[in-house]
Structure 1
Amino acid sequence: MLGLLHTSPVHVPVFDGLRDAGHPELELRHHVEEELLARARREGPEAVAPAVRAALLRVAEGRGGFRAGAVLCTCSTIGGVAEAVGADLGVPVVRVDRPMAAAAVAAGSRVVVLATVASTVAPTTALVEEEARRAGRDVSVRAVVVEEAWARFEAGDSAGYAEGVARAVREVRDADAIVLAQASMAGAEALVPEVRVPVLSSPRPGLAAAAALASR
């Protein structure tokens, strides 16, 4: 069983669909705490570490004491905190964007990170740089915040949100890979087939990595 820690309920059907398509045998247990992202945006990701700790324990233990084999944190803003807290708790945690960051580093030396909330920029940039060091590659990371798209997301306009992100992708120049920093941005990936560099989103590779860990 894989536990998932979300900061928006919109991710639940996305990951259920990915499970059905690629990991039909995997049981998912979803846990949504929207306030974690709201607080992290106001106070910074590190400030919510105690709340993330409590949330991870709730996800890992589940109802009736049924323990998850691993937990997938689908929020890029708090993903690094979840990894660190999970290590302290002995809970295997996968941050959804780590496999995406590794793929971006493998694609080339110029990585552009697109985000729709500013709080995601620093954690995602640091993650790409960490994966570059791990791979022994010299990578430059440039971040762009597509702030006007987030209002669409908050209004429940998923199509408008995805198109806003897609427009930002089309405007990127001088990149070897474009990273869609938040799981919520994945819908834009299919809207930009004309873009000649990899446009990378996190849900599919993140779920695959977490499923592999949960099965060990």
Structure 2
Amino acid sequence: MVTPGPTLTLLHTSPVHVPVFDGLRDQDHPGFALRHLVHPDLLARARAEGPDTVAGEVEALLKRAVADGASAVLCTCSTIGAVAESLAPAAGVPVLRVDRPMAAAAVAAGRSVAVVATVESTLEPTVALVEEEAARAGRPVDITTVLVDGAWERFEAGDQDGCARLVALAVDGLAGVDAVVLAQASMADAADRTTLPVPVVSSPRPGLRAAVLRCGAEAKS
């Protein structure tokens, strides 16, 4: 009898992330089992009322994922990532936020970190995450924030290319930074368009890698 391998469930607030993470899985972790929960309403409410207001619904979704066989859950939304991560004890499985490995990489690159976002509600939780990773690493950090005007509207209209162009232009206008954090998973395409000679880090690939490794560790324990 073949024992089924671990399953990672991803919690998204946009359907566009499903093919992105499936593609990364096929490239980096072929055959690994992914499941997707897509709830755009969570981001809409978190932006309007604050991330903590969706905690009850997120907890219910996590418990549903576990009941359906999830070995771990990866939240791909930076706005609600901290809320999801805090609910791991209630879920009973590891709950990871996709942007934590990215934040750690930015801190390792140098003291001055720019956090770039297309949605204002993402800035505060991402800054807090970078500060947390800096404290964990025992490294000083100076953070600046940039909100890219018009980029989210392009993304919502389905113009992902236009969104990435605006983000890349904003990044290339920065000076005096050691690393740039692209705060949302939806911004990842902009990383390859920038010419800034410092690390410009995005979350999907390192976040998925960390979650797959965590699933494997849980399966062996």
The TM-score range, normalised by the shorter chain, is: over 0.9
1:56 aligns with 2:58: no
Distance 1:6 1:147 in 2: 23
Sequence identity (%): 62
Distance 1:111 1:54 in 2: 35
Superposed CA deviations along residues 16-55 of structure 1, whole A, max 9, x for unmatched, are: 0000000002110011011000000001011111111111
Match of 2:119 among 83, 93, 117: 117
Superposed CA deviations along residues 138-196 of structure 1, whole A, max 9, x for unmatched, are: 1011111113100000000011011011111111111100000000000101111x210
Q: How does 1:8-87 map to 2 (within 5 A)?
A: 8-62=14-68, 67-87=69-89
1:157 alignment counterpart: 159
TM-score for both structures, normalised by structure 2: 0.94
Change (3 A) 1:59 1:147: farther
Shift of 1:61: 2.2
Other structure's SS at 1:178 match: strand
1:195 alignment counterpart: 196
Range 106-115 or range 43-52, more displaced? 43-52
Other structure's SS at 1:147 match: coil
2:11 alignment counterpart: 5
Other structure's SS at 2:15 match: coil
User: Residues 5 and 59 of structure 1 are in contact (CA less than 8 Å); yes or no, is this contact kept in structure 2?
Assistant: no
TM-score for both structures, normalised by structure 1: 0.96
Aligned partner letter, 2:98: V
User: Residues 59 and 90 of structure 2 are in contact (CA less than 8 Å); yes or no, is this contact kept in structure 1?
Assistant: no
Other structure's SS at 2:87 match: helix
User: Residues 66 and 91 of structure 2 are in contact (CA less than 8 Å); yes or no, is this contact kept in structure 1?
Assistant: no
Change (3 A) 1:87 1:174: farther
Range 5-14 or range 85-94, more displaced? 85-94
Distance 2:67 2:9 in 1: 9
Distance 1:41 1:51 in 2: 15
Other structure's SS at 1:39 match: helix
Aligned partner letter, 1:90: G
- Structure 1 portions without partners, runs of 5+: none
Aligned length: 211
Aligned partner letter, 1:45: P
Shift of 1:86: 1.6
Distance 1:30 1:127 in 2: 24
1:210 alignment counterpart: 211
Superposed CA deviations along residues 58-79 of structure 1, whole A, max 9, x for unmatched, are: 22322xxxx1111110000000
